[in-house]
Amino acid sequence: MKKGKLMVLGALAALAVIAGCGGGEDTTDSSAIALSKTQFIKQGDAICKKGNEKNETEAEKFAKENGFELESARKIQLEELVEEVLIPGLDQQAKEIDALGPPEGDEERVEAIVVSLEDAAGEIEDEPSLAFEGKALEEPSKLAADYGFQVCGEV
């Protein structure tokens, strides 16, 4: 795989990884049995892994349908890819993680991850080129990793 394609896929994976750690509307059901922290992390990381794989596949499909190669894409093409593929993927992962509901007693830590991620996603949506700089996701990534996520917290 060429360096350019690795950079694009790496940036997509980094964004998707952290995106799986929160966001979206509060869809928790207070009558549902809360997951343990271990179960929450395991299910969250599974969501992130699935989302990462889907984002990679969708990115390659998007590039092919729009007549460019990821490894030689221009900045404008990459920004369009972020807007059309990555942001919807991030939103989906966020909704799925949010639907799990935080473990009892960890509501504030999970909310901090969610808020940090939402802020970063908003910045990236406003300026897609930030997706390839990585700095927009430093805080949510650190919070997710500190919480114990493996897949969702790696960058």
What was the pLDDT predicted at 33? 75
Predicted confidence at residue 114, as pLDDT, reads 76
pLDDT along the chain (155 residues), means of 10: 49 49 42 82 92 91 93 90 85 80 91 80 84 80 91 78
Q: What is the pLDDT of residue 93?
A: 78
What residue segments make up the domains of the chain, in order of their start?
Answer: 34-147
Distance of CA 40 to CAs 18, 43, 77, 98, 112, Å?
15, 5, 36, 10, 16
Predicted confidence at residue 11, as pLDDT, reads 55
Residues sharing a CB contact under 8 Å with residue 12, sequence separation 6 or more, in sequence order: 55, 56, 59, 81, 85, 86, 131
Q: What pLDDT is recorded for position 32? A: 56
Cα distance between residue 146 and residue 62, in whole Å: 34
Amino acid code (one letter) for 37: K
